[in-house]
Structure formats: structure tokens, C-alpha cells
Amino acid sequence: MSIQRSLRDLTLRYSTVYLALVVVTAALGGGAVWLWQEASGESLRVNGMVQEVEIMRGNLYRQMKELFDTTFLDDPNAQTQYTLYSGLIEDDLHRLAERAQGPEEEAAVKELKRTYHEIHSRTEIIVFGPIPPEGRVLQRIFDTDLEAGGLQAYESAFRQVDHLFMLQQERLQKKLSRLAYYTPLLLVIPMFAACALLLLTRRFLKQDVVEPFSELQKGTRVIAGGDLGHRLVIEGATELMALSQAINQMAEDLQQSRAALLKTERQATLGALVPVVAHNIRNPLASIRATAQVLDEENVHPDIRDGLKGIIASADRLERWTASLLSYLHPLEARWLEADVAEVLQGLLDIVQHQFNVRGVNLKRAIPHQKIWVRFDQDLLEQALHGLIVNALEATPDGGEVMVNLRKADQRVEISIFDQGLGLQWTISSTGVPHDPVVPGRTTKRTGTGLGIPFALKVSEVHDGGLSYFPRSEGGTQALFWIPCI
């Protein structure tokens, strides 16, 4: 069972998916750029701190040089330079403290700052402290441990900071490497998804739009060419299926309209032709019958008299057929009234009951007691049903049974006439095509005209009803005459 898919819904769905892919691709690209910028900014920050540490280290050793010049060379400008480098180192420590992020970096900067302040407090005394001349040599000797103590502690703190920043640089480098590796892969996924969606869209358009639309065009050309019996295959998207169904319904309506038009034209042609034919038949027929009556005398030979009687009977039969044909072709003008169809049918059966008694055929009635109101022409209805009931009587052998059933079902009244005859009698025309028993055809009854059933059909159609015949499993035929009820 094929799944009905709406072109409108699928177009909206695919558009939504395409938009989602664009948004996802933009989000992945933007996220990758943001992560890359963040990692690059972090790398620049760490490199900047490493440079600050290196600059501070250089300033410290320049400061130590000025300390040496002050202590051993009595350079008068050394104290000024010493103070300048002290300010530079403090600025470096301040910038490092501002750039430090996380507890590890903050702790390392604090340790670096502590060791420097420890060195600075000892060198301040050497450079600016009140040292007597005889104590300078001793001060120089006692401060030989400056390098072994404070500077080594500072170097240890520096190596700690340097190692920390080195680890951070390695982590950032790995992060950047992963971004460089995974970002193209993440961007490839939406590309593959877009390609897959494109293939699915192409497949859908081909199977549910292009091919069905092509078949629809071909079928429409066939129908437009006059083959109203051709039907389109209902396939494709929901909109195309609805269009195909509409075209099929249109073709069916046109076919029925054409059949009705042909029937109307045929009726009109026959209506114009039959009176002429009837006039041309009746005049010589009246002469033939009159001549036969004149010749039918008592002194005529019996064989000749039998022939004359046959001529008179055939003329009368032909006259009845001509009158019935004119009546059938004449447009029926219904005189509508609302009445109880059960009562009308009971009255009609009471009239024909005598004919059934003469033949010895049982007339069985199945008519409900409640009233069934119908809008109909009583005269036309009685004529149509009378012909159908008489046909059933003549088809049923002596001692048989005919049942007339009346029921209301599905907003219509159904009158069924069941006989026990030989069943449907289909006659073959000269072209080899069997005649439908509800259209005019050759009768098999000696006194019939072959127009009783077609007349009943015409009456049913005037009442927007119908007439159908069905074979019975136990033998015989069911005639179903129905008209809509109120």
C-alpha cells in the first residue's frame, strides 16, 4: 500500500530540513571560529605572560648589576638606575597579576612576587642602608649568600612559572590541533546530509511528480482525443492524485453526458421518423385489413378464410405495435402527486388478480401495512407496473407463482416482481450483439410489442429512478423497479 504524500507538505518539510542544515552548518562554523579565536587569544595571553616574566627577569638582573656597581664600584648613578628597575619590575608583577587566570597561575605569580620582594628587601639595605665604611667589607662578605638564597628562590619560582606556562601552551597547541582536525569533519557532515537530501528530493520529484505528471498528460491527451472510457492511474503526490481523480470523474461525467446526448438525439430522430413511418404503414395496412374483411364471406373456401383471418390478426397486431411505438417515443409529461404507493400497488394487484386466476398462477403479495408516501405520477406508474406484472404472469407456467414485494430502503421505494419463468431472454441482433431486455427489441410473445419493459424503464427515469433485471438462483427472474421516496 503506497503512502500518500502531499507535495505541499513535503516541500515544506524539505525546506525546513534545508534551513536546519544551513543553521547547523553556520552554528558549527561559528562555533569552530569562536573556539579557534578563544584558543588563539589564550595562546597570545600565555605568550604575553611568558614575555613579561622574561622581561622582569632581565630587569631583575640589570637591577643586580646596579647593586654590584653601587656596592663595589661606588657608581653615583647606580642607585638611580636601581630605583628605575625596581619600578619596572613592580609594573611587570602588576601586569602578570592582572593577566593571571586560574588558581595555579595566581599562585605562581604570587610566589614570584614574594621571592622578588624578599630579594628587594635585602638589596634595599645594601644600596640605601646606613653602612659605616669599616663595615662595607664585612657587609659585602655577609651578602655573598644573596645569590645562594634569594636569587635561587627567585629562579625556582621563575622556573615554576615558566613550566606552568609551557604546559598551558602545550595544552593550547593540542586544542588548536584538535580544532584543526575535527572542524573540517564537522563541516563535512552537513554537506553529506545536504547531498543525501538532494538525492531524496530528486527521487521524490521523479517518482511522485515528474513521472505521474507525464502519465497524467498522456492520459489527458487520450481522453481529449475522444476516448472517454480511458481512466488515469491514481498515483503520485496527493495533489496529482486529486487531479487525476477529478479528471477521471470529468471523463465519466462526459461519457454519461455523451451517452445521454446520443440517446436524446436517437430519441429525437426516432420521434421525427416514426410518425412518418407509422403514417406510411397505417394507410396501406388499413386498406389491406378492409380488403380482407370484404373478402371474408361465408361462401369462401375455409383455407382462404383462415388466411384472411390471419391477415386481419397480423394487421391488428401491426397497428397495436405502431400505436405502442408512438406512445413510447412520445415525451412523458408527469402529473405529480403525493400518495401512498402501497395503496396504489394494492389497487393495481386487485385489478390483475382476475388474469392470474384464469391462468391458475398464484399472485403472492408482500406489501407493508404502513403508508409509504412518494411523489409520483399515478397513471404512468400503474402503466409501467402493469406491464411488468403481466410480463411476469406470461413468463410463469400454469400453476406457478409470481410474488410482488414492496419495501422502503435507502431513501427509495423498491418494487420487486419475482416470476418462475425460464429466466432472462437475451435476443441476438443482426450484428451479433445481445439486446438488453430493458431497451426496445424483438418480442418472443405472439401478441407483444417488445416495448413494455423499455416503457417501464422510461417511466422510472422520469421519476429519477431505475429498472434492473436479475436472474434468480431457484429459476426465474427478478424485476426491480425503484423510485426515490419523500
DSSP 147: I
- For 230, phi then psi, to 5°, come to -75, 140
In angstroms, the CA 157 to CA 119 distance is: 13
- Are residue 55 and residue 110 in the same domain, yes or no? yes
- Are residue 91 and residue 129 in the same domain, yes or no? yes
Report the pLDDT value the prediction gives residue 430, as an integer from 0 to 100.
Answer: 39
**Host domain of residue 404:** 333-484
In the chain, how long is the greatest CA-to-CA distance?
200
- Are residue 324 and residue 344 in the same domain, yes or no? no
Collect contacts of 252-260 with beta carbons under 8 A, ≥24 apart: 252/228, 254/228, 255/228, 255/229, 258/228
Q: What global pTM score does this model have?
A: 0.41
In angstroms, the CA 60 to CA 41 distance is: 28
DSSP string across 201-261: HHHHHIIIIIHHHHHHHHHHHHHHTT-TT------SSHHHHHHHHHHHHHHHHHHHHHHHH
* Residue given cell 410480463 in the structure block: 391
Pick the last residue of a domain from 272, 303, 328: 328
Confirm whether 318 is domain-assigned.
yes
- Are residue 197 and residue 290 in the same domain, yes or no? no
425: nearest Cα among 446, 405, 449, 450: 450
Task: Give all strands (DSSP E) within 135-213, no chain letters.
Answer: none
Report the pLDDT value the prediction gives residue 1, as an integer from 0 to 100.
Answer: 44
Q: Is residue 472 classed as helix, strand or coil in its secondary structure? A: coil
Pick the last residue of a domain from 174, 201, 228: 201
Q: Report the C-alpha dihedral over residues 393, 394, 396, 401, rounded to 10 degrees.
A: 20
Report the pLDDT value the prediction gives residue 48, as an integer from 0 to 100.
Answer: 77
- For 477, phi then psi, to 5°, come to -140, 145
- Are residue 23 and residue 137 in the same domain, yes or no? yes
In angstroms, the CA 171 to CA 345 distance is: 105
Please give the chain's pLDDT, 486 residues, in tens.
Answer: 455 567 677 777 777 877 877 777 777 777 777 777 777 777 777 777 778 878 887 888 787 777 777 766 777 787 888 788 888 888 888 887 887 777 877 887 787 787 778 777 777 777 676 655 444 444 444 455 554 455 666 667 677 777 777 777 777 777 777 777 777 767 677 777 778 777 777 777 777 777 877 887 888 888 888 787 888 888 777 777 788 888 888 888 888 887 777 777 776 666 666 666 665 676 676 777 777 666 666 676 677 777 767 777 777 666 655 655 555 556 667 788 999 999 999 999 998 999 999 999 999 999 998 999 999 988 888 888 998 999 999 999 999 999 999 999 888 999 999 999 887 654 433 344 344 455 444 444 544 456 678 888 888 888 899 999 999 888 899 999 999 986
Report the pLDDT value the prediction gives residue 130, as an integer from 0 to 100.
Answer: 61
Pick the last residue of a domain from 328, 358, 380: 328
Percent of the chain with pLDDT over 70: 73
Confirm whether 216 is domain-assigned.
no
Confirm whether 133 is domain-assigned.
yes
Report the pLDDT value the prediction gives residue 133, as an integer from 0 to 100.
Answer: 45
- Are residue 148 and residue 77 in the same domain, yes or no? yes
Report the pLDDT value the prediction gives residue 332, as an integer from 0 to 100.
Answer: 65
Confirm whether 115 is domain-assigned.
yes
- Are residue 290 and residue 252 in the same domain, yes or no? yes
CATH number at residue 51: 1.20.120
- Are residue 282 and residue 339 in the same domain, yes or no? no
- Are residue 312 and residue 379 in the same domain, yes or no? no
Report the pLDDT value the prediction gives residue 341, as an integer from 0 to 100.
Answer: 93
Report the pLDDT value the prediction gives residue 340, as an integer from 0 to 100.
Answer: 92
The total of other beta-carbon atoms located within 10 Å of residue 180's CB is: 11
Confirm whether 219 is domain-assigned.
no
- Are residue 405 and residue 343 in the same domain, yes or no? yes
Collect contacts of 389-392 with beta carbons under 8 A, ≥24 apart: 389/348, 389/349, 389/352, 389/417, 390/352, 390/355, 390/452, 391/419, 391/452, 391/453, 391/479, 392/417, 392/418, 392/419, 392/421, 392/477, 392/479
- Are residue 11 and residue 135 in the same domain, yes or no? yes
The total of other beta-carbon atoms located within 10 Å of residue 28's CB is: 16
Q: Count of domains in the chain?
A: 3
- Are residue 267 and residue 375 in the same domain, yes or no? no
Confirm whether 228 is domain-assigned.
no
204: nearest Cα among 69, 2, 376, 397: 2
CATH number at residue 340: 3.30.565.10
Confirm whether 226 is domain-assigned.
no
In angstroms, the CA 300 to CA 297 distance is: 6
Confirm whether 343 is domain-assigned.
yes
In angstroms, the CA 417 to CA 364 distance is: 10
